Chain A
Amino acid sequence: EADIYQTPRYLVIGTGKKITLECSQTMGHDKMYWYQQDPGMELHLIHYSYGVNSTEKGDLSSESTVSRIRTEHFPLTLESARPSHTSQYLCASSRGTGIYEQYFGPGTRLTVT
């Protein structure tokens, strides 16, 4: 099992609320990623970071924001949740680019009512 953790695992929240999804890893990886996955669909990259104070947007446009103040921590924030944000959010990390493996957390299933 990879040492990458996500909390909460499940979250049901009302429209307009601010939420933060937590992701942390204890492997000392510089590179971290956030993916969004709808049921039965492929993963889409929404944010990534190559190290502290580095954040980039991924291929799928997202209203969420991320921060990377510490190597081990990569939280994702939604300022005002909407039903369209309902999805599974997966965090991953890797030691490097290219052939290096990406290790995934267990995911957070978000439902916005």
Chain B
Amino acid sequence: KNQVEQSPQSLIILEGKNCTLQCNYTVSPFSNLRWYKQDTGRGPVSLTIMTFSENTKSNGRYTATLDADTKQSSLHITASQLSDSASYICVVSANTDKLIFGTGTRLQVFP
């Protein structure tokens, strides 16, 4: 069964600190992996999209890594800001148009 699992389920950090979110997937065949940021009550916004051949991609303070062999990805947030408080969703696409969503990691950044 195609699945995407994320950890931790929730995370609290202080402003200015770094953090890393994890994603494991069992989707096959693999096409691409995406990280989305979803603010409360809003739609998800894309942070990165990575294909099989990419093992790292950055978007400002966000850096995603992908290990297609172990089927793992991580999202590293550097120098966190209050506005980073949101849910971060890992999404994997098989060789179709369908996206398989994880349940997300809820990040709270406190001053």
A contacts, CB < 8 Å to B: 2, 4, 31, 40-45, 48, 58-59, 90-92, 97-99, 101-107, 109
Of the 9-residue stretches B20-28, B56-64, B68-76, B101-109, which lies at the interface with chain A? B101-109
Size of chain B's interface in residues, with CB distance under 8 A?
24
Contact B31 A107 (CB under 8 A): no
In-complex Cβ contact of B41 among A40, A43, A59, A109 (8 A): A109
State the Cβ distance, A34 to closest chain B Cβ, in Å: 12
B12 located at the interface, meaning its Cβ lies under 8 Å from any Cβ of chain A in the complex: no
Contact A31 B97 (CB under 8 A): yes
In-complex Cβ contact of B93 among A31, A40, A41, A98 (8 A): A98
With known contacts A41-B103, A42-B102, A105–B97 Cβ distance under 8 A: no
B contacts, CB < 8 Å to A: 4, 31-32, 34, 41-46, 49, 51, 89, 93, 95-99, 101-104, 106
